[in-house]
Structure formats: C-alpha cells, structure tokens
Chain A
C-alpha cells in the first residue's frame, strides 16, 4: 500500500482552527471527527476539516481519546479530564501520588488504560477509576525506556496493548493484565525496517487490520508494519519539520493516517493510493 500526502489541518497561529503553542495529541471518534489537543483546549474538526467546536481544558492536553460512548478523555499532568461530546466536563480523575504525566489513553471492554510517562508504565483502571494493575512495571529497566519523554500505546480490536518502547527500539504487545505477549523491532540507522536513533518509535497506532503504524523522530517519519512486525511501507520521511518529535498519530476506517507535526503544529493527513485505498 502506498500513501500520499493529502492535506493539512491546523498549523501554528492564533486563528480558532490553529494552535498557538503546542499540538500533542490527536484522536478520532466513531463518526470520523478529528480531535486535537495541545494548548489548553480541545479542538474538534468535522469531516470537511472545518473546526466544529472547541472547549478549554484545565491544564495543557498531552493526549486525547474518544470512547465508545463518545466521551472525550484528555490526558494532562496528574489528571484526566472527561468531557461529554459537547465539551461539558463530566469527571476528573486524579490519583494523587500515583498518576503522573498522562501521554496516551485507550479502552478495551470496561478497562481504561492510561500511559503514565512519569512512572513509565501503562496503568489499567476500571470505569470507576479504580487502579487494577500496571503494565510495563515489571520491566527490569523499571518501566518503558522513554528518553523522548512520552509513553504511547494503542489497543487493538482484540484488547491487546501495543506499546512503544523507544529506548529498546521495540514495539511490545501486552495483555491487559500486564503479561508480555511478544515484541518486534531492532535498531537500524540505515535499513528502514529497523528503528533509528537513540529511541524510536516514539508513537504508534493500530488499524482495524492489526497493522501497526509508527512515528519516529530525528528524522521524523511514519511507517506501517504488519501484525507480525514486518515493514510494509514508509508513509512519509521528508515532509515533517526536522525538529518534530513525539508525533501522535491515528488512522481512520479508510486507512487515512493523521499525524500531529509537533513543530509546525499541523495535522498532516496521508491517504492510501491505488486499489487498496479502501481495503
């Protein structure tokens, strides 16, 4: 499958559909609306990329996710804010002394998973906010090795967590109880099959076919791997600002990949080309 850059959304600026200082997280809901956080606001873009609505957050958003009920979860420092689909605040989760910088959020069944970049683990909670267990805390490095400062993960349709472990140049798969199920990845600064630099991939997402889509820093690029960890495609390696890092990304049901360029504050959209475009 090949991809081509389609268009961009947002960008640095003071207009309502732009980002003033930061763009850190993107997510999609079931209707294909795009959610983005960074400055202390959630911005929602409709299918035509027009800004549909926005609302403020208590602290700068580090990540965003939308659950099956349409609730919007925003990860922040030491808390998660939960909004209804219109932006009304319904709850705030805090776990004093436990929850640190929340850099990714995911769901599976009744579980809520929060990536805690302070602890360097993924925390598993029930819907009531009760901590069930941690994922990655048994790693002998004390957690995921994240010199880049964020923990990112995605949950596939079977409820398996795919976690980026950039300091080890790997993607690791975990069951919700924290059992390591498998991994792929190796260092390589030349062969795009491998992960380059000190610490990649920094971010990832999983599509409905189990393909793992990753972003890297220095130099920033996006790649697609099959569920077994074989490289399928380099989506883009020359379109991002060279200083961009920790580029969050999300994929929709049409295979389009939305990538948050953290330097230009643009959401870059890549769409598949050819006969597989709607696979």
Chain B
C-alpha cells in the first residue's frame, strides 16, 4: 500500500533538503578556508633563492636548517613544463667545477645528491649533448636547502625549480621557526581571503 503525500509535505521535504545542501556547502567552504589556504607557504618572488634580479647572492638555506623537523618540510620542486631539459643543467652540475673527461662538470650542486639526471627520448649514444635530460628531485633526499633553486634562476637557468612546503609533513606550527628566521619574509601564512 503506498503512502500518499500532500503538496505541503513535498514542498517541506524539498525546502529542508535545499537548506541541508546549502549548509553542507557552507561548511565545506569554511573548512577549506580554515585548512587549505591558512597554511605556511613560500613566496617565490620574495625568496632570495628564486627572486628575479637577485644575482650573485649567497644561497639562503634557512628552510633546511630552521625547520623543527629532522628533515625539513620544505622541498625543491622542478616544474617540468618550464624546464629546458639541458645537457648541462646549472642546478644539477656545479658549472664552475673542473670539466671531466666526459666533457661535463665534475661536481654537483646538490649536497645530498637528490637530483636525478636521465636522458630522455631516443638516446644518441655518440653525442650526449644531442639529448634532452630530465632532472627529477627525490623528495626522500631533498631537504629544501635551495641551492638548486638559486642556480636555476634566470638568467643562468629558466627558474623552473622552486621551494614548496610539503603539507603532509609540515606541522603547521603557529610560530614557524623558518618563518621567524627568513630574512626576506618569504615564508608566510596568508590569512584566508
């Protein structure tokens, strides 16, 4: 036997459903504001390692040295769409080091050997300069020291590498040690819009 509903009951159900959906959406928005945007981040235009025009400066390693975690929550990230895939990457090789018998610099920039260099595509075995190379950062090794970021900056490189906070490891301290130590006020936690 089917139950019949009055027009008033149907309209009432619909109104309650709409109100619940709206409340859910509002709650979601508030959650996003509270948890997604209110987080520590690095302003690349302020960070001395990535800021354009800051040429000839010493690397700032405070992101790696000041974090309360044993391995900083900051990582270097290579944005592949901007990377030149160079034969001699200044963020990978210490380009002023002596050249070895293979024609490449003998020293690397990363003190933890966190950047992996791999020829891609069809490999020319006779002319290594004739290949493109991917430079992939191993985040289990990277400590966010920023040396590769500095060396990748224009005009030496294309600026494809930047520092980012890894929010799955960041403790989101209210008084972040990196932010307090950052000399450029580049490590900040913007208020929700």
A residues neighboring B (CB under 8 Å)? 140-141, 145, 147, 167-170, 186-191, 194, 196-199, 217-218, 242-245
Contacts and interface: CB of A to CB of B under 8 A. Distances in A.
Q: Which of B88, B89, B99, B124 has the most CB of A within 10 A?
A: B88
21 contacts: A140-B130, A145-B132, A147-B84, A147-B86, A167-B84, A167-B129, A168-B129, A169-B88, A169-B129, A186-B103, A187-B88, A187-B99, A187-B105, A189-B95, A194-B99, A197-B90, A198-B95, A198-B156, A218-B155, A243-B53, A245-B154
A189 B132 contact: no
B88 to A, nearest CB: 5
Interface string B43-78: 000000000110110000000000000000000000
Interface residues of B, number: 29
B130 A189 contact: no
A189 B105 contact: yes
B15 interface: no
A197 B132 contact: no
A190 B155 CA distance: 18
Nearest to B131: A141
Contact of A196 (B89, B95, B98, B103): B95
Contacts of B131: 141
Contacts of B84: 145, 147, 167, 198-199
Contact of B86 (A188, A199, A218, A244): A199
B86 A189 contact: no
Contacts of B98: 190
A243 B56 CA distance: 10
B99 A198 contact: no
A237 to B, nearest CB: 14
Q: Which of B99, B129, B155 has the most CB of A within 10 A?
A: B155
Nearest to B152: A198
B128 to A, nearest CB: 10
A190 B95 CA distance: 8
B87 A167 contact: yes
B170 to A, nearest CB: 32
Contacts of A187: 87-88, 99, 103-105, 129
7 nearest A-B residue pairs (beta carbon)? A147-B84, A218-B156, A245-B155, A189-B95, A198-B86, A242-B55, A168-B129
A198 to B, nearest CB: 4
B45 to A, nearest CB: 15
Contacts of A147: 84, 86, 157-158
A22 to B, nearest CB: 15
Given A170-B129, A197-B88, A199-B84, 5 more contacts: A140-B122, A197-B90, A199-B86, A218-B90, A242-B55
A21 to B, nearest CB: 15
Nearest to B89: A198
B140 interface: no
Nearest to B83: A147
Nearest to B84: A147
Interface in B87-133: 87-90, 95-99, 103-105, 122, 124, 129-132
Interface string B125-146: 0000111100000000000000
A141 B155 contact: no
Contact of B97 (A189, A199, A242, A244): A189
Nearest to B99: A188
Contacts of A194: 99
A190 B84 CA distance: 22
Q: Which of B55, B86, B89, B97 has the most CB of A within 10 A?
A: B86
Contacts of A186: 103
A197 B158 CA distance: 12
Contacts of B154: 243, 245
Contacts of A197: 88, 90, 95, 156
Contacts of A198: 84, 86, 88-90, 95, 156-157
Contacts of B155: 217-218, 242-245
Given A140-B130, A168-B130, A169-B88, A242 B56 contact: yes
Contacts of B55: 242-243
